[in-house]
Amino acid sequence: MAAKSAFCLIATLLASAAPVIAQTNPRAAPTDLTLNAAGYYEAPAANVLVFSNWYDGLFADSKISGVEIIQQGERIATNGDVRLSSTPGQWDAIGRLIDRKVDATTGAITVTLEYPDYKWRYRVRSEKRGGAVAVSVILDQPVPAALAGKAGFNLEFLPAAYFHHSFMADGVSGAFPVYPADAMIQTPQRNAASGRAEGPGAEPTAIAKGSRFVLAPEDPARRVTIRSTAEVQLFDGRNQAQNGWFVLRSMLPAGRTGTVLEWTIQPNSVPGWLRAPVIAHSQLGYTPDARKVATIELDRNDRRALPARLLRVGEDGSMTPMPTAPAKRWGDYLRYSYLQLDFSAVRQPGTYVLEYGATRTAPFRIAANAYAGAWHPTLDVYFPVAMDHMFVNEGYRVWHGDAHRDDARQAPVNHEHIDLYAQGPTTDTKFKPGEHIPGLAVGGWFDAGDYDIRTQSQYQVIRSLVDSWERWHPMRDTTAIDWTRRKTEMHVPDGTPDLVQQIRHGTLQLVAQFDAVGHAIHGIVEPDVAQYTHLGDGSTKTDGLVYDAALKLGEEKNGRSGMPDDRWAFTTKASALNYGSIAGLAAASRALAEADPALSKKALGIATRTWAEEQSHAPDTYQHGNTTGGPLDAERFSAAVELLRTTRDPRYVTAVQSLWPAMEKTFAFNLRDAVAAIPFMPPAYRAAMVPAVRAYATATETAAKANPFGVPITTGGWAGSGTVLGTALNAYTLHKAFPEIMPADEVFRGLEFLVGHHPGSDISFVSAVGTVSKEVAYGNNRADFSFIAGGVVPGVLIIKPDFPENHEDWPFFWGENEYVIPEGAMWIELAQAAQELAATAGSKPTQTASATK
């Protein structure tokens, strides 16, 4: 979820994750920028984007908008726009995009934006000027009095790109700090939601000032020159927040209209520069019978005909070339050209590397057990670390203490909160706003890189884990959980399968919600931004003591305190959430029948009772953000299916049958539920599904040809690992139920995409899975520039129109690098599905049209 924002800097990047820069004659004269057909300015090794991207509405500052610079294959600057502070944070106001007009004839781009609260519009105009882009701020009305001294033009530079580099301001040299240590100026601290002053805050002072800045003059890959008609100041945003950037800023003058500011931005162009090739492949390796295709990603100007080879690694370090057919051209996709090397004929187990010219991959295996254990880090490490309301220990390390013992207070009514939470006009509970709701401080997982409990994620994970349990019954036991002491000990068996223990942990939270207020709630989240952005041990976010308004601030008495730091519970009724929770509880009741019969019985009782209640009245249709459940009919269908699977009650047969026509229209999103019901439905139900299955299989195969990786690649503000996981699991589900229609290919394509066969790099998006994997990611560990083993990141973010990106040097890109629990559970499923299919006779993946164009 959102900004989910001491640190150990990763000074060098893994060579296979971040391609080595190739260049020719870096001192050659720069080439003029041109406005290309894609609508951005381009020169060899340099691009300037002007509002090609805009925020998707889910969250505020995603670092993907305004004026942006891509230089030698890395996006190094963003958010070139009028802002209201020197180092704006995620929740600070940002202009609203009105329109963007591109004049291909003159090479000009004009963007109109506004700050609606101030009824103030402005324009940002760019035009090419030789090897630079001139960016002007144009005002038809002066800066409003309320914004005088606040409004300025900012351009933000990625700190990791400029560590260990210098700058010059009007010829005076300086160095970019690795760690922020600037003098601060005291200012009023304002609430991000209300704008009200809340005590002292601070703003950083400028590192340097001048009308001409040269960044990294010593490095052709990072050198940018900026000239301005007004003074430019350099700030370090990390003084206020660990996810801050270096910011260049010029204030807008008061009382003036017309062109009030002009910057000339000149990235460093290097004629003849070529981005080094990337050899996308599975970091896990391949089974002997598998289709094995590596995709070689090339700069479009790279016309070299270099050899592509598969090398077998010997014990003595020898590299023996293996016979393969020559690499074939696939075509162009996004901004790159692609070749593909098919080495499916190589079946001999062993260690291998791939090579294209001077580019060589990390080693990978060909082995019958290539996929075995790929899900272990997710279950062994990621999920235990995500457990809320538990003390979690790993050997000598405490991941976090028993967090949120003071959960939770009733959220205020008619309140739109942070992170897409909101409370409606009533509480829909017996509790008054601000009152403690007992019983919620149990179970559940931290939703993502932050610490909230999002109910929709909880029941999605429970259902996914139950599917893994019922399909493969993995008895892996490496985690000891003491429910009485609320303690989790990693890498210590306790006699109970870990998967069942995690199912129990999620179920405890869902049951607690119904016990506490009688229905599913949206979730439990921090009361303010200051707590929400907490980095470190989750148990230190609150004092663990229930808030008592009768006590003074800082006073503690009888296990209560006067500190209003307790998380808020958002409780407005939403039938979609009730149905989703019914599905999760009904599924959990099956998995827990032996391990915890009492909880199993209670979960099913809540599920059946809530289903009956929902049928007795019109649905509660309250919706907000992504915290109030999915589409109502889809959630109702999932509830009916899980109740049918658990009880075999004919009433749910009727419900499934009545809802099927609506599900058929959105088959791609509901097919796993639809298929799960087949064993308990009349034969006609399966027969009626066949046309939808055939249409889906055809559409999937067509979509696989759209890019060289054979999977759906999304283009929103959140990257698409979840979509790839879902599509691969869809393929597994249909292949098992309709093998005559749906091949298994997409299961393997999806897995390979997650572990390295994707655009932009060859890194595995599952931390600690595969030879080279994500080691700088966005969990609650992100301030340490580290990772949580088994976490799955969103992956390749497409910076529109054509730049695939995943940063391994900066964890704070949540749309690329943030772990979320549903994807972790889905990875556990997908890894086991691939392992099963690879070991099953007759199910080996076949050559598909996605491999060629």
Go through the domains of the chain in sequence order and give each one's CATH number: 21-267 (2.70.98), 274-372 (2.60.40.10)
pLDDT at 722 exceeding the cut of 90: yes
Contact 402, 386 (CB under 8 A): no
Contact 182, 236 (CB under 8 A): yes
Q: What is the pLDDT of residue 71?
A: 98
- The chain-wide mean pLDDT, for the chain, equals 93
Q: What is the pLDDT of residue 59?
A: 66
Q: What is the pLDDT of residue 842?
A: 40
- Greater confidence, 265 or 2? 265
What six digits make up the tokens of 408?
């939770």
Q: What is the pLDDT of residue 19?
A: 39
pLDDT at 750 exceeding the cut of 60: yes
Q: What is the pLDDT of residue 477?
A: 98
For the chain, count helices (H), then strands (E). 16, 44
Of 193, 314, 235, 642, which is closest to residue 459 (Cα–Cα)? 642
Task: Tell me what the mean pLDDT of segment 563-569 comes to.
Answer: 97
Band of the pLDDT at 225, cuts 50, 70, 90? very high
Q: CA 268, CA 286: separation in Å to the nearest integer?
A: 41
Give this prediction's pTM: 0.94
pLDDT at 30 exceeding the cut of 70: no
Least confident span in 3-17, 428-442, 626-640, 701-715: 3-17
pLDDT at 500 exceeding the cut of 60: yes
pLDDT digits (tens, 9 = 90+) for 392-434: 999 999 999 999 999 999 999 999 999 999 999 999 999 999 9
Proportion of the chain above pLDDT 70, given as a percent:
93
Q: What is the pLDDT of residue 361?
A: 98
Q: CA 672, CA 686: separation in Å to the nearest integer?
A: 13
Q: What is the pLDDT of residue 56?
A: 65
Contact 830, 711 (CB under 8 A): no
Ranges assigned E (strand) in 241-362: 246-251, 258-267, 274-275, 278-280, 293-299, 308-313, 319-322, 328-333, 336-342, 350-356, 359-360
Q: What is the pLDDT of residue 423?
A: 98
pLDDT digits (tens, 9 = 90+) for 626-653: 999 999 999 999 999 999 999 999 999 9
pLDDT at 28 exceeding the cut of 60: no
Which residues, including other chains, have CB under 8 Å from residue 682's CB and lie 6 or more apart?
Answer: 653
Task: Tell me what the mean pLDDT of segment 707-733 comes to.
Answer: 96
Task: Tell me what the mean pLDDT of segment 313-327 comes to.
Answer: 97
Asked if the bond preceding 408 is cis, omega within 30° of 0, the reply is yes
Q: What is the pLDDT of residue 479?
A: 98
- Greater confidence, 189 or 639? 639
pLDDT at 25 exceeding the cut of 60: no
pLDDT at 843 exceeding the cut of 90: no
605-639 exposure pattern, b = at least 16 Cβ within 10 A, e = fewer: ebbbebbeebeeeebbebbbbbbbbbebbbbbbbb
Band of the pLDDT at 840, cuts 50, 70, 90? confident
Least confident span in 54-63, 334-343, 380-389: 54-63
